[in-house]
Amino acid sequence: MGLLGIIALVISILGAIVGIVFLGFFDYRFMLVALAGIYILGMSFWYYDVSRSVAQFQGSGHPYPYAGTRMLRVPGSVRYRVYYPADTTTCCGKVSPFYDGVGAFAFGYVTLGLHNCLNPDGCVSCIIEVILRILINIVPLAWISIPTTYKNADPAIPKGVDVKDSKKNRKSIDGKRDTEVESKIAISIETKGEKGFPLIVFSHGLAGTNEEHSIMFSEFARHGYVVAAIAHEDGSAPRARKEDGSNLWFVFPRQDEEEKCHDFACEFPRDPDAQLEGQFWNADRLSLFTKFRIAQVTQRQSEFHSVRNHILKDAPEEIRRIIDPSFVIAGGFSYGATTAALDSVLHPKDYVGAILWDGWFYIDGTEWPKAVHEKGIQHKSLFIGSTAFSGDHPYETAMGRLVKTAKQKSTFFALPNSSHEHFVDLPFWVPTGRPAFCLEAKGHLSNLIMAKEGTLKFLKTLTPNVPNKEEPDTQSKEVKRDPMKEVKKDSISTQN
Q: Give Cα separations from 50 to 3, 175, 308, 351, 457 (angstroms).
A: 15, 34, 33, 35, 26
Give exposure, 110-145, as e/b (b: 16+ Cβ within 10 Å): bbbeebeeeebeeeebeebbeebbeebeebbbbebb
Q: What local confidence, expressed as pLDDT, does residue 258 receive?
A: 34
For helices 335-346 and 283-313, give the axis angle rounded to 10 degrees: 60
Alpha-carbon dihedral 464, 466, 470, 474, rounded to 10 degrees: -150
Q: Is 49 left (phi over 0), alpha (psi -120 to 50) or beta?
A: alpha
Q: What local confidence, expressed as pLDDT, does residue 475 receive?
A: 39
Q: What local confidence, expressed as pLDDT, does residue 432 receive?
A: 74
Question: Which stretches does DSSP call E strand in 184-253?
Answer: 197-203, 226-231, 239-241, 247-249
Inter-residue contact 301 to 267 (CB < 8 Å):
no
Q: Name every residue whose Cβ is closer than 8 Å to that of residue 130 and which is 6 or more positions away in sequence.
A: none
Say what the pTM is: 0.81
Q: What local confidence, expressed as pLDDT, does residue 433 receive?
A: 56
pLDDT along the chain (496 residues), means of 10: 51 62 62 79 86 90 93 97 85 86 94 88 92 91 92 85 45 38 40 72 97 97 97 96 94 55 38 35 55 90 97 95 94 97 95 96 86 93 90 82 91 92 92 51 84 96 54 41 41 38
Cα distance between residue 214 and residue 144, in whole Å: 12
In order, the DSSP letters of 377-415 are --SEEEEEEEGGG-TT-HHHHHHHHHHHH-SS-EEEEEE
Cα distance between residue 327 and residue 464, in whole Å: 10
Is residue 199 helix, strand or coil?
A: strand
Pairing label, strands 362-363, 353-357 = unpaired
Closest CA to 199 of 463, 470, 464, 467: 463
